[in-house]
């Protein structure tokens, strides 16, 4: 009788045959799987499952954030300098070209501008200087006429013996002097007449330059809106950085991040609804624009485990007016886009 250990194990030849059949069965299975895959791939009319569009899908939901219709505008200084005075506070409503901040060089540039304007006023008086010079020319011409008449008178008296030669020579000298004065006066008149336009244009250019230099010491609002945030304090030095953020909050927009695979469902004019726990009621809106680029998602809500690196397209929805929403730039929430015909929910 065989020991127990030998009874429990098959013979080596039997083990080899079992392994051979196992390898053959595995190879046959792989061949069948490969053939099935190739057969499915040869059918060009079979679209992938994920590309089949659900025509009865009523809406699409994505994360979104609020921003002014003008977007957030970061206003910067045109030149470097120390902030002398901040004229507005956060939340203040501003209008286009309203001065928001003054730099320390403002007073100097304002004085330079005033001096340039005075020079311009003086340049505008140049036509009067021309008229005055014309009057001087007429006076010299009259003096010359008188001197010539005196020469003729002295010449007649000298022929008759009633005048010495000295008086005649003095009269001739006065004529030559008057002629030189007349040439000088006419040359000056010609120069002043030619300089009238040049002097005026030069003075005007100086005013333009002074205005530009003074404007670089002021930060103005580029739009009608509200101051969202003041980034610097008085006394701090800025060098091209943004000083404050403003936006046209009279109209707010929701910027949704729609997945790139679903952007084909969105059309301009479709109705949408923005919701957030911070708002008591949903905000209705209309799709205003669809982005032309694909980005990584940046709106993730409050879930720390929300996926990152999703490929999304930005969709802007212009919302109905809401006073509370105007004070909640960057508020995150959900946007539901109704996928019916544009203009109908």
pLDDT digits (tens, 9 = 90+) for 282-337: 999 999 999 999 988 888 766 666 677 889 999 999 999 999 999 999 999 999 99
- Range from 27-31, 50-54, 140-144 carrying the lowest mean pLDDT: 50-54
Q: In this structure, are 318 and 251 located in the same domain? A: yes
CB within 8 Å of 99: residues ≥ 6 apart: 87, 218, 219, 220
- Provide the pLDDT confidence category of residue 2 given band limits of 50, 70 and 90: very low
Q: Please indicate, yes or no, if residue 139 is contained in any of the structural domains.
A: yes
Q: Please indicate, yes or no, if residue 268 is contained in any of the structural domains.
A: yes
Q: In this structure, are 158 and 254 located in the same domain? A: no
C-alpha–C-alpha distance, residues 37 and 319, integer Å:
49
Global model pTM greater than 0.85 = no
Q: In this structure, are 254 and 212 located in the same domain? A: no
CATH of residue 62's domain is 2.40.30.170
CA proximity to 74, closest of 225, 235, 296: 225
Name the strand (E) or helix (H) holding 138. helix 126-160
Q: In this structure, are 210 and 280 located in the same domain? A: no
C-alpha–C-alpha distance, residues 331 and 249, integer Å:
13
Please identify, among 195, 216, 237, the residue that sits at the C-terminal boundary of a domain.
Answer: 216
Q: In this structure, are 186 and 282 located in the same domain? A: no
Q: In this structure, are 171 and 260 located in the same domain? A: no
Does residue 122 surpass a pLDDT of 50? yes
- Range from 41-50, 96-105, 192-201 carrying the lowest mean pLDDT: 41-50
Please identify, among 216, 237, 271, the residue that sits at the C-terminal boundary of a domain.
Answer: 216
Q: Please indicate, yes or no, if residue 284 is contained in any of the structural domains.
A: yes
40: phi then psi, degrees, rounded to nearest 5: -65, -35
CA proximity to 257, closest of 294, 231, 307, 203: 294
Q: Please indicate, yes or no, if residue 88 is contained in any of the structural domains.
A: no
Supply the range of the domain harboring residue 256. 57-72+246-338
Q: In this structure, are 193 and 146 located in the same domain? A: yes
C-alpha–C-alpha distance, residues 81 and 108, integer Å:
13
């Amino acid at each position: 009788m065989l020991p127990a250990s030998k009874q429990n194990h098959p013979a080596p030849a039997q083990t080899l045959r079992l392994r051979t059949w196992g390898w053959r069965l595995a190879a046959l299975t792989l061949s069948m799987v490969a053939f099935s895959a190739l057969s499915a791939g040869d059918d060009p009319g079979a679209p992938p499952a994920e590309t089949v569009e659900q025509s009865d899908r009523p809406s699409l939901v994505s994360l979104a954030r609020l921003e002014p219709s003008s977007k957030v505008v970061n206003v910067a200084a045109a030149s470097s300098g120390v902030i002398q005075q901040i004229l507005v506070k956060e939340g203040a409503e501003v209008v286009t070209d309203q001065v928001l901040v003054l730099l320390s060089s403002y007073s100097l540039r304002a004085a330079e501008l005033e001096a340039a304007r005075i020079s311009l006023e003086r340049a505008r008086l140049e036509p009067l200087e021309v008229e005055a010079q014309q009057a001087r020319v007429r006076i010299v011409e009259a003096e010359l006429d008188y001197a010539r008449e005196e020469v003729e008178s002295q010449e007649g008296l000298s022929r008759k013996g009633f005048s010495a030669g000295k008086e005649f020579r003095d009269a001739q000298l006065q004529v030559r002097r008057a002629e030189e004065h007349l040439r000088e006066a006419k040359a000056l008149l010609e120069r002043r007449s030619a300089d009238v336009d040049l002097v005026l244009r030069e003075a005007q250019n100086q005013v333009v330059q002074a205005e530009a230099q003074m404007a670089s010491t002021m930060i103005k609002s580029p739009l009608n809106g509200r101051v969202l945030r003041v980034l610097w304090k008085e006394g701090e030095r800025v060098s091209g950085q943004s000083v404050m953020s403003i936006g046209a909050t009279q109209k707010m927009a929701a910027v949704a991040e729609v997945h790139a695979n679903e952007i084909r469902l969105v059309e301009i004019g479709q109705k949408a609804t923005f919701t957030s726990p911070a708002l008591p009621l949903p905000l209705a809106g209309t799709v205003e624009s669809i982005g032309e680029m694909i980005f990584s998602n940046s709106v993730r809500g409050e879930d720390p485990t929300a996926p990152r690196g999703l490929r999304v397209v930005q969709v802007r929805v212009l919302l109905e007016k809401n006073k509370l929403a105007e004070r909640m730039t960057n508020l995150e929430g959900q946007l539901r886009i109704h996928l019916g015909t544009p203009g109908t929910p």
